[in-house]
Structure 1
């Protein structure tokens, strides 16, 4: 029997295929390219991220580990661990993401809007024709705002607004080429992308060296100047391994429009990151899928304690120790959770407030502040020289007489430290600590004679209780042993006197 069905045309088959997909997914299909953002194609928090054409990079909403906030960022799309390499709204986290979205606004800019449709982040470009721009996430790891009619005409790009990560192809420098964005700035903490205290910048004085900075004011490491093949303080750049050397291509450009350094990875299958870490080190890492994580193969400065103010105020950095940071005696971790996660930059706070402040020879409640002696240290560099102090006692009194003085050191000259004591380093493990510092503490932080007596009484009492407990246990054991022996003898006696049957 012949079929009466009419064969479907290719167009009809396509329509049915689309309808089937819509039914399966339960939502409208996103029209257009999956890598493109436009006025008609916003990216809400509920939407899957935009993905670059080859699938290497994704752009979308994410939450850092243990964070309640949301951000728009770029991450590697083909690895098992979500690793943000750029964040748009570092300073403007989203607390209620339900109606937030990334879109192209009516003025042509790329914007993030919150629940009230207010812009919390924007590319902020002037004189853009309305409705003529799109956002595109590229395989180069770059997010661009470009003309819709010709996406090669780029009006804004994320490569010019770096975060904590410098990716291959990006330019880190000064001048017009980077639009003033010359720094890589570390995250504040591991779950907070807000700008932290550590950054790397091309020397503002015009040399070809990069500087690691704390709070944009204190330099604590430099690459040295560019020689044409490497930086003078980074000889590792000239590898003796021919294969390793062939994987990377470095270039420094010094032109009329600006100066910058860039690098490329010749093997596109290798994923690499150059990052200013929360710990203040710069780290070059590569992704190892078999290990499920990023593997470190180069970092600077090598010694963790060389990072300025790594441990924050009122703490000490200990060489060859894990973790490197410890609170000083009389202090406790200011943010315990961050401390446990390896971020020590907020340092420590006092257990007990100072009891003597600005009183020459006087005390508050009859108690004087005292000093805890720390030998074998590298002294912080921001001490104040007190010329008038002729001896150690004069130096101590100068500190006690100043409300903000927190420590002093005397070795022929008197140095005082005020407010938050930072960048103190314990050198005893490496044998070249030649400084001694005295840390100011409340008198109650030291064990008094009365406390010693109480401690002795407590120890004696505890010993007596322990002795009584042991004696009681021994007595019980002996009694039980005697009872068991008695029962055994009686049992044997009954067996011996039992008549034969």
Structure 2
């Protein structure tokens, strides 16, 4: 049998064509149709258009080997490339990432303020964690997408439990299922209290996680997949940070703030080729912040969670969002007294004179399932 000779230049072409690249440099920008693929083939970065909005395109990161396209980060969510205009994603000579439209106008950029001399040899690298970093030649990362999340938390992504750290932004949900622009719901640390995490609907609190128990490491075991999910809380000076990790061999896992306002823990099911939701908050009306209005509480021990009034109060109409009102006015003659509310979870107190607008929830309802930042042991 005769030997078949293949020209060397053809072999080189095939090798280069099949090899994935995980980085951008100032001399090698990304154009529509091009992609970065992390070194282990886990994540992809490139241009995309949502299914119902082909006229708008974005730069995003998604899972490379999961057939259901799942975006975990979007750069220009509020500044899409519109119409038939093409774009270019590149590393600038000042060590910034920038997205330009076909006219050269900047739609999105980072701001690192590195001099040209320092920037020589800088690259943007897509890591197997899903993190996009800008790395100097000395190995220092001067920017990372994990500090500027969209709506998703990935394993090994560290987030502060107070908003004093300005280097990290809140999660903000998509506007809709196919619209990555800034939505109504956001989630992050409360600016007035360390270790208190909220979901907001606009500026109004929508959900609040249960109080931190003080445990530094918690874990959840999922028997159907053999997955162990760890939550680690670390203190750095006056700041607290939380990181989620998963055991080796676990399926892909993510935490997403859904456009409906729910935060969901999801794992990839390779048999059904879909994302399984194994925890979501809020999952009942009792979980919603101030769901029963002033002086009302949500009784989660009922078959159907029900709004009720505290002792001495009655419903202020059929709509419980208006809460409850006093049956009798306070006399303030020394005969009135305070009572304890055991097993109740209240909203933040906002006092005006002797009145305090509170909403109390039964503790059973609040702890029947694991809140976002506190996993059950």
Aligned 8 A contact 2:92 2:98 in 1: yes
| Unaligned runs of at least 5 residues, structure 2 | 292-316, 324-377
Residue from 233, 236, 241 that aligns with 1:252? 233
SS of aligned partner of 1:73:
strand
Establish whether residue 221 from structure 1 lines up as the match of residue 207 from structure 2: yes
Cα distance 1:306–1:269, how it changes in 2: closer, same or farther (>3 A)?
closer
Q: How many Å separate the matches in 1 of 2:238 and 2:19?
A: 37
Q: How many Å separate the matches in 1 of 2:19 and 2:126?
A: 14
Cα distance 1:155–1:33, how it changes in 2: closer, same or farther (>3 A)?
farther
Q: How many Å separate the matches in 2 of 1:377 and 1:174?
A: 35
Establish whether residue 59 from structure 1 lines up as the match of residue 48 from structure 2: no
Q: How many Å separate the matches in 1 of 2:278 and 2:162?
A: 31
SS of aligned partner of 1:101:
strand
SS of aligned partner of 2:125:
strand
Cα distance 1:228–1:14, how it changes in 2: closer, same or farther (>3 A)?
farther
Could you state the TM-score of these two structures normalised by the residue count of structure 2?
A: 0.69
Partner of 1:143: 132
TM-aligned CA deviation for residue 258 of structure 1: 2.9
Q: How many Å separate the matches in 2 of 1:72 and 1:241?
A: 34
Could you state the TM-score of these two structures normalised by the residue count of structure 1?
A: 0.53
Partner of 1:340: none
Partner of 2:335: none
> How many residue pairs end up in the alignment?
298
Q: How many Å separate the matches in 1 of 2:38 and 2:140?
A: 18
Cα distance 1:122–1:301, how it changes in 2: closer, same or farther (>3 A)?
same
TM-aligned CA deviation for residue 127 of structure 1: 2.1
Q: How many Å separate the matches in 1 of 2:18 and 2:220?
A: 48
Quick check: which has more Rg, 1 or 2? Answer: 1
Q: How does 1:311-460 map to 2 (within 5 A)?
A: 376-380=318-322
- Could you say which structure has the greater relative contact order, defined with CA pairs below 8 angstroms and 6 or more residues apart? 2
Q: How many Å separate the matches in 1 of 2:27 and 2:7?
A: 27
Residue from 12, 30, 45 that aligns with 1:18? 12
Q: How many Å separate the matches in 2 of 1:302 and 1:181?
A: 27
Partner of 1:196: 183
Residue from 288, 297, 308 that aligns with 2:269? 288
Residue from 234, 246, 254 that aligns with 1:265? 246
Cα distance 1:165–1:113, how it changes in 2: closer, same or farther (>3 A)?
same
Q: How does 1:304-315 map to 2 (within 5 A)?
A: none
User: Which one has a larger percent strand, Structure 1 or Structure 2?
Assistant: 2
Q: How many Å separate the matches in 2 of 1:308 and 1:194?
A: 25
| Unaligned runs of at least 5 residues, structure 1 | 23-28, 232-236, 311-374, 382-501
SS of aligned partner of 1:43:
coil
Establish whether residue 278 from structure 1 lines up as the match of residue 265 from structure 2: no
Cα distance 1:240–1:103, how it changes in 2: closer, same or farther (>3 A)?
closer
Partner of 2:109: 122
Q: How many Å separate the matches in 1 of 2:122 and 2:169?
A: 26
Partner of 2:342: none
Partner of 1:161: 148
Cα distance 1:295–1:245, how it changes in 2: closer, same or farther (>3 A)?
closer
SS of aligned partner of 2:81:
coil
Aligned 8 A contact 1:221 1:301 in 2: yes
Deviations 1:371-413 (A, max 9, x none): xxxx8432347xxxxxxxxxxxxxxxxxxxxxxxxxxxxxxxx
CA RMSD of aligned residues (A): 3.6
Q: How many Å separate the matches in 2 of 1:159 and 1:131?
A: 24
Aligned 8 A contact 1:70 1:97 in 2: no
Aligned 8 A contact 1:230 1:238 in 2: no
TM-aligned CA deviation for residue 110 of structure 1: 1.0
Q: How many Å separate the matches in 1 of 2:232 and 2:273?
A: 31
Q: How many Å separate the matches in 2 of 1:222 and 1:210?
A: 6
Bigger mean CA deviation after superposition, 124-133 or 238-247: 238-247
Residue from 298, 306, 312 that aligns with 2:279? 298
Aligned 8 A contact 1:173 1:182 in 2: no
Cα distance 1:161–1:255, how it changes in 2: closer, same or farther (>3 A)?
same
Aligned 8 A contact 2:20 2:37 in 1: no
Partner of 1:342: none
Partner of 2:363: none
Cα distance 1:112–1:170, how it changes in 2: closer, same or farther (>3 A)?
same
